[in-house]
Structure 1
Amino acid sequence: MEEQTLVIAMVGMLGIGAQWIAWRTGWPAIVLMLAAGFLAGPVLGLFDPEHAFGPLLDPMVAIGVALILFEGGLSLDFRELRHSGEGVLRLVVLGVPLAWVFGAVAANQIGGLEWPVAILFAGILVVTGPTVVMPMLRQSSVKPRPASMLKWEAIVNDPIGALCAVIAYEYFRKVAAFPDATLFEVVPPLILAAIIAGLIGYLAAAAIAWAFPRGAVPEYLKVPVLLTTVVAIFVLANQIEHEAGLVAVTVMGIALANMNISSLRSIHPFKQNIAVLLISGIFILLSASLDFEDLAYLNWNFGLFLLALLFLVRPATILLSLLGTKVPWNERLFLAWIAPRGIVLVAISGLFALRLSDLGYDGDALIGLSFAVVVATIVAHGFTIDLVARLLNVKGGTRPGIIFVGSTPWTISLAQMLTDMKTPVMIVDSSWQRLALARQKGLPTYHGEILNEATEHNLDLTPYQVLVAATENEAYNALVCNEFAYEIGRDKVFQLGESSDDKDRHAIPESIRGRALFDSGFGVEDVSERQSQGWVFRKTKLTEEFRFEDAQQRLPEAANMLLLLRDNGVIRFFTHAARPEPRAGDTIVSFSPPQEKTAEEIAAKRGNRKQGVPVT
C-alpha cells in the first residue's frame, strides 16, 4: 500500500514536472517525460511500476489510452476537413496499407525480424499517436492545414494500427493451429467486430447527446457520467474483440464533437486536464518499466531500420498517398518528416510481445524496439519540427498576437499602433457597422459572435495569445474573459475596469472578470470620454540611457501606462494587480492626454531626435 502511494506520487511529480520544464524551456515534453521515467526506473531504481501495481498495470495503461483517444476524438470537428479532408482520407485509406507493407519489408529485410514479428510490428507502426503529435503542435506554430492533417491522422490511425496488429496476430495464431488457414477466414470477422464497436461508440454518443441537454443528468454528474461511459464502452467493445475498444471510444469522441452539444463546452477544461495527467502518468510508468534486458535487441541492424523508417518508409507513404491531391508540395514534405510514435505503440507492443512468444516467435524483441522507435522519432521530430516548418514555409506567425473583442474607436486606435509595431491583431465584433472603421483602416477583422462555437472553427485563434474584451457591455466582457481563460490563460485575458460611475453599483465579481487594464482601472466609459477629449496612444522606446523613469518624466502627468512590448513580441500589460518590469529594448505604450507644445518644447523635441532620444 505504501509503495503504491509512493509510486503514484512520484509519477505525478515527475510527469507534471517534465511538462512544466517543457513549458519553460520549449523542449518537447514527451522527451523529458521519457527521460524522467527511464532515470527513475531502470537507471536509479527509485521505483518499479510492475512490482508496485502487478497485474493492474496493463489495465491501468489500457484505460488511460482509451481516455486519451476519446479526448482526442472530441477535438476532431468535421468542419476542419473543408481544407484538409481529401488529404486526411488519403492518409487513412492509402497511407495505412502502404505504411504497413513498407514497414514490414524494412523490419524484415533491414531490421532482421522474422516475418510474423515484422508484419505485426509494422501494423502497430502505422500509428503516429495524439499523445505526442498534439503536444508538438501546441509547442510549435504550424499552419492550420498541415496541423489539422497531422492531428486527424494521429487520432484516427491509432485504433486502426491496433486493429492491424490484431489482424496479424489472429492470422498467425490461426496458422499455428490450422496451417491451411487463409486471410479470408480471419479478416472479415475482425472488420465486422470493428464495425460493431464503432456502432456501439456512436450509440453511446447519441445517448449522451440526448440526455445532457434535456437535464437528465445534473451538471455536477456530467463529467463522472461521461468518463464512466467511456470506460464502460471500452470494456464492452473489448469483449467483442481485442483492441476493438479503441475503435469504440474514438468513434464516440468524434461523434460527440460533431453533435453540437452546448453543454459539453463546460467539460472541455476538465477533459484537457485529464489528458495532461494521463499522458504524463502513462509515459512515466511505461518508461520506468523498461528493463535493460529489453535493450539487448538494439543492434546496428535495428539502427539501420530506424533510419529507413524515418527517411524511406514515412516519406514514401506520404508522397504516394497524396499524389494527385491539392496539398502543396511543401506541406507534403513536412508531413513526410513528422511522424512521432507514442503511448499506443508501446502499450500494444508490450501486449503482443507476450502473445507472440506463446506462439513460438521471438516477441520479446518488440518491447525494446518499440521504445527505441518512440525515443528516436520523438527526439528527431520534436527537436526539428520548428526548423523544418520554417524551412518549408509551413510555420505560422511566431510573434504573439492580440485579439480585441469589440470594435470601438479605442480598440481600433490601439490595434493600429500595435500593427505598426509588427504585432498580429484581430478585431472581432458581431456588427458590420462597428467593424466598418476598422476595415477602412486596413485592420484584420472577423464578423461574428466570439462566444459562438462556430467561431472556433472559422477563426484560427492559435496566433493570438492575449485577449482584450472592450465592448461597451462590461458584463459581456467579463463573460468573454471567463470563457477564454481556460484556453488562453487566466493571466492573459483582459478587460477594461469598472467605469467611475459604476464603482458604487453592483460590481461584477472579480472571480469572473478578466484582468483590469491600467493601474487606475479605467472603465469603458472612462476611456471613451478621454478619447473624445483628444487622448491618444503614445509609444516610447527604452534604451540603456533612456530608462522607464525618463519616459515617465517626458509624458504628461495624467498619462496612464497600458502595456510594454518586448523585442521578441511578448506583450505585458500594466494592470491594477500587476506591473511588469520595464527594461532596455522594451517599447512602452501609454494612453495620454493631448500635449500643448510650445516653441521651446518643439525645439527640444527636435534636439532629442537628433541625439537619438526615442520619445514619440
Structure 2
Amino acid sequence: MALEQTTTLIGTVPAVALVGLAGVSAQWVAWRFQLPAIVLLLGLGVVVGPVTGLIDPVAQFGSLLQPLIALAVAIILFEGGLTLDFKKLAGAGRGVFRLVAIGAPLGWLTSTLALRYGAGLGWEASVVFGGIMIVTGPTVIAPLLRHARLRKRPAALLQWEAIVNDPIGALAAVLAFQVVLMLNGAGNDGLGWLIFGILFSAVLGYAVGLALVKAFRDALVPEYMKVPVLFAAVLGGFALSDVVMHESGLLAVTITGIVIANANLPSYEELRRFKEHATVLLVSGLFILLAASLDFASLGQLTWRAVLFVLAIVLLARPITVLVSLIGTDLPWRERVLVAFTGPRGVVLVAVAGLFGERMAAAGVADGTLVGPLAFVLVAATVVLHGFTIAPMARRLGLSGGDVPGVLFVGGSRFTTELAEALKAAGLPVLVSDTNHANLRHARAAGLPSFYGDILGEAAEHSVEFLEFSTVLAASDNDAYNTLVVTDLGPEFGRDRVWRLPRSKENRERHALPSGLSGRSIGEGRTLEALNGALRDGAIVKISRLTEQFGLADFIEQWPEAIPLAVLREDGRIEFRSEFTSAKLEKSARLVALVSEPEPIPPQEETA
C-alpha cells in the first residue's frame, strides 16, 4: 500500500527529473571511483523502480514511453554512426567486415540454438528472438570502452560491430517474424514489403545524410542552427522510415551518421561533441527506465533454464561467432579473445524483444511471453559481467592503456626532454611530439618515444595511442600552436588535464586570451626560453618525495628558487602545478621541480 502511495505522489515531471538526476549521479560516481557506469545505472534503476516504487515508467509516461525510448535509441545510433569514420578503422576494417557479413548470420544461428536448447523456447520464438540477439548493444559498448580504455583496434572492432549490427538485428527480427506469420497463414506479402522497407530506409538515410552535408558545407544553415537542424532531420528521417516499416528507422539513422562522419565537414567536431553529451544523458536515462520497468512477476515465469541460456550465450554462442568470423584475418589472438568474450546487450535488445514478444504472443506463438523476461535477464547479466571484467581482461591481455596513464608533451626541446626523462624514470609513460623533426633530436638522443607530425592531425590518430596518456603539456616554441592544442584537446582529455607553458606576453592586458582558450600554465610564469635557459645554466629536473621528516617546508628551505612543475600522487598519477601548496599534497607525494643544485664547496688545503 505504501508503495502505491509513493508512486501516486510522484508525477511525470518529478519522475523525469529523478531519472535525469539518478542517471547523471551514477555516471559521476562511476567516473570518481573508476567503476563501470552501466552497472551502477542498472542497479540504481532497480532501486528507484521496483524496490522503492518512486518511478513506474508505464504509469508515469503511459503511451509516450515506447516512442520516447525509440527516439532516444535513434539519436544514440545516429551518434554512434557519427563515430564510424572509415579512416579511423585502425587496421580493423577486414575484421569489422567479417563480424558484420559473417558474424551477423552466424550469431543469429548460434543464438537461436542457445534459445532452443538452452532456454527451451520453441523454434518460432527462438528464430525471432535469435535475430534480435545479433545486437551487441551500442548503448553499452561506448561506456564500457570509456571505462576500459582499450587500444584502437579492439575498440574499433567492438564499436563498429555494435553500431552496424544494431539495425541488422532489428531487421532480422522483422524478417523472422514475417516468416512466422506466413507459416501461420497470416499472409504472403510480408517478404516483399520487408525488402522494400529495407531499401527505402537505406536510401532515405543516405539521402538525409547527403542533404545535411550539402546544407552545412554550402553555408545554407547558420552555425547556431546546425545542431537543431541535425536533430530535426535525424528524427524526421527515423519517423518516416518507421512509418514505412517498423524498426527500419534504426538503419536509416545509422547510415545518416556514417555519411556525415565521412564527409570531412569543418564543423564536424562541434556536432560530434554535442551529440556525445546528449548521448550520455540519453543512455543514462534509458538504463534507469529499463531497470525501473522491471516486473518481478514476469521474471517469475523463468526457470533454471534462463541461467543455462545466459551461460550458453556468453561461453558458446558469442565466442564461436566471433572466432569463426575472424578466421583468416591478421588480428592477434589476444584481440580475438577479448572481442569474443565481450558481447554486452543493451536497451535496444530489451525494447525490440519486448515488442516482438508481445506480437508473437498475440499471434499465438508459443513462449512469446518469455522473450521479454529473457531479454532483460541477458542484458542484466552481460552488463554486470562485462562491466567488471572487460578492464582487467584487457589489462591482462595487454590491450589497455595501463594502470598509470602518462604525459603527452607537445613540443620537442631540452626542457620537455629532461622533464620527460625524469617522469619516465618515475614510471610514467611519456611521448614527445613536434612538427619539426629537428626539435626531436634531444628526445631521440635520450631514447624517449617520439612522434614527428601534428598531434592534432589524422596521422596522429592512427599512430598515437592517446589512451595511454591522461595529461597533455603544450610546450612548443609557438605560443599560438600551444593555445590551439589546449583548446582542441581540452574536451577530449578534460580541461583540468591539459596544460601549457606561459606565453611571452601573457601578463599584458592587450595580449590576454579568454580563459576558455588560454588553458592553465605551469612554471610560475616562465616561458620555454626561460626554462631552457635555466637548464643551460645548470638547473636540473628533480623529483623529491615528501615524508614525515622531509615536508614541503623543508623542500622550499633547501631549494628556495625551485620552479614548481608537477606533483606525482601515490598512485603514480601526475598533476601539473603552477605552485606547491600543502593543502593539496599527500604526505607521500613526490614533487617535480626545476632546481639549481648548489655548487660543491672545494676542499680546503690543510695548513701546516
Amino acid at match of 1:341: R
| CA RMSD in angstroms, aligned pairs only | 2.2
In structure 2, the CA distance between the partners of 1:265 and 1:355, relative to structure 1 (3 Å rule), is same
In structure 2, the CA distance between the partners of 1:595 and 1:577, relative to structure 1 (3 Å rule), is closer
* CA distance in 1 between partners of 2:295 and 2:347 (Å): 17
For residues 321-400 of structure 1, the aligned pairs below 5 Å read 321-361=325-365, 362-400=367-405
In structure 1, the residue matched to 2:491 is: 486
Matched, 1:174 2:178: no
Q: Which deviates further from its counterpart, 508-517 or 496-505?
A: 496-505
Q: Which deviates further from its counterpart, 293-302 or 493-502?
A: 493-502
Deviation at 1:374, TM superposition (A): 0.5
Deviation at 1:241, TM superposition (A): 1.4
Amino acid at match of 2:82: L
* CA distance in 2 between partners of 1:316 and 1:191 (Å): 29
For residues 215-294 of structure 1, the aligned pairs below 5 Å read 215-294=219-298
* CA distance in 1 between partners of 2:213 and 2:557 (Å): 61
* CA distance in 2 between partners of 1:250 and 1:211 (Å): 19
Amino acid at match of 2:151: K
* CA distance in 1 between partners of 2:457 and 2:240 (Å): 36
In structure 2, the residue matched to 1:134 is: 142
In structure 2, the residue matched to 1:607 is: none
In structure 2, the CA distance between the partners of 1:159 and 1:500, relative to structure 1 (3 Å rule), is closer
In structure 2, the residue matched to 1:582 is: 585
Matched, 1:4 2:12: yes
Q: Which deviates further from its counterpart, 144-153 or 359-368?
A: 359-368
Identity %: 42
Q: How many pairs align?
A: 595
In the alignment, is the contact (CA less than 8 A) between 2:57 and 2:292 conserved in 1?
yes
In structure 1, the residue matched to 2:526 is: 522
* CA distance in 2 between partners of 1:596 and 1:29 (Å): 54
In structure 1, the residue matched to 2:562 is: 559
Amino acid at match of 2:439: R
Matched, 1:85 2:93: yes
Q: Which deviates further from its counterpart, 420-429 or 226-235?
A: 420-429
Q: Which deviates further from its counterpart, 274-283 or 520-529?
A: 520-529
In the alignment, is the contact (CA less than 8 A) between 2:108 and 2:133 conserved in 1?
yes
Matched, 1:510 2:510: no
- Alignment partner for residue 152 of structure 2, among 111, 119, 144? 144
Matched, 1:159 2:167: yes
In structure 1, the residue matched to 2:3 is: none
In structure 2, the CA distance between the partners of 1:580 and 1:374, relative to structure 1 (3 Å rule), is farther
Amino acid at match of 1:267: L
Amino acid at match of 1:497: P
Matched, 1:60 2:52: no
Deviation at 1:78, TM superposition (A): 1.0
Deviation at 1:497, TM superposition (A): 2.3
Deviation at 1:453, TM superposition (A): 4.6
* CA distance in 2 between partners of 1:517 and 1:392 (Å): 37
Matched, 1:593 2:596: yes
In structure 2, the residue matched to 1:604 is: none
Deviation at 1:214, TM superposition (A): 2.4
In structure 2, the CA distance between the partners of 1:13 and 1:495, relative to structure 1 (3 Å rule), is same
- Alignment partner for residue 322 of structure 2, among 308, 318, 323? 318
In structure 2, the residue matched to 1:606 is: none
Q: Which deviates further from its counterpart, 427-436 or 376-385?
A: 427-436
In structure 2, the residue matched to 1:17 is: 25
Offset from partner CA, 1:431-467 (integer Å, 9 cap, x none): 1122233222222222222333553344331111111
Amino acid at match of 1:418: L
In structure 2, the residue matched to 1:433 is: 438
In structure 1, the residue matched to 2:307 is: 303
In structure 1, the residue matched to 2:111 is: 103
Amino acid at match of 1:58: Q
Deviation at 1:142, TM superposition (A): 2.2
In the alignment, is the contact (CA less than 8 A) between 1:18 and 1:32 conserved in 2?
yes
In the alignment, is the contact (CA less than 8 A) between 1:573 and 1:580 conserved in 2?
no
SS in 1 for 2:591: strand
Q: Which deviates further from its counterpart, 560-569 or 541-550?
A: 541-550
Deviation at 1:571, TM superposition (A): 0.4
* CA distance in 2 between partners of 1:543 and 1:317 (Å): 55
* CA distance in 1 between partners of 2:336 and 2:246 (Å): 34
Offset from partner CA, 1:370-423 (integer Å, 9 cap, x none): 110001111111111123223333333321111111112211221122122221
* CA distance in 2 between partners of 1:225 and 1:25 (Å): 37
* CA distance in 1 between partners of 2:270 and 2:152 (Å): 25
In the alignment, is the contact (CA less than 8 A) between 1:121 and 1:165 conserved in 2?
yes
In the alignment, is the contact (CA less than 8 A) between 1:223 and 1:267 conserved in 2?
yes
Deviation at 1:261, TM superposition (A): 0.9
In the superposition, the TM-score normalised over structure 1's length comes to 0.92
In the alignment, is the contact (CA less than 8 A) between 1:167 and 1:190 conserved in 2?
yes
Matched, 1:33 2:41: yes
Deviation at 1:153, TM superposition (A): 0.8
In structure 2, the CA distance between the partners of 1:47 and 1:481, relative to structure 1 (3 Å rule), is same
Deviation at 1:3, TM superposition (A): 1.1
Offset from partner CA, 1:19-76 (integer Å, 9 cap, x none): 1111122221111111111111111111211111111111100000010011111111
In the alignment, is the contact (CA less than 8 A) between 1:297 and 1:369 conserved in 2?
no
* CA distance in 1 between partners of 2:437 and 2:329 (Å): 37
Amino acid at match of 1:482: T
* CA distance in 2 between partners of 1:396 and 1:590 (Å): 27
Q: Which deviates further from its counterpart, 47-56 or 5-14?
A: 47-56
SS in 1 for 2:451: strand
* CA distance in 1 between partners of 2:207 and 2:465 (Å): 31
In structure 2, the CA distance between the partners of 1:591 and 1:188, relative to structure 1 (3 Å rule), is farther
In structure 2, the CA distance between the partners of 1:390 and 1:365, relative to structure 1 (3 Å rule), is same
Which blocks of at least 5 consecutive residues in structure 2 are unaligned?
1-8
Deviation at 1:100, TM superposition (A): 0.9
Amino acid at match of 1:461: F
Amino acid at match of 1:69: L
Deviation at 1:209, TM superposition (A): 1.6
In structure 2, the residue matched to 1:45 is: 53
* CA distance in 1 between partners of 2:442 and 2:194 (Å): 61
In the alignment, is the contact (CA less than 8 A) between 1:499 and 1:525 conserved in 2?
no
In structure 1, the residue matched to 2:121 is: 113
* CA distance in 2 between partners of 1:127 and 1:265 (Å): 27
SS in 2 for 1:384: helix
In the superposition, the TM-score normalised over structure 2's length comes to 0.93
In the alignment, is the contact (CA less than 8 A) between 1:521 and 1:576 conserved in 2?
no
Amino acid at match of 2:477: E
* CA distance in 2 between partners of 1:451 and 1:585 (Å): 36
In the alignment, is the contact (CA less than 8 A) between 1:496 and 1:522 conserved in 2?
yes
Offset from partner CA, 1:242-285 (integer Å, 9 cap, x none): 11110111111112111111211122321111010000011111
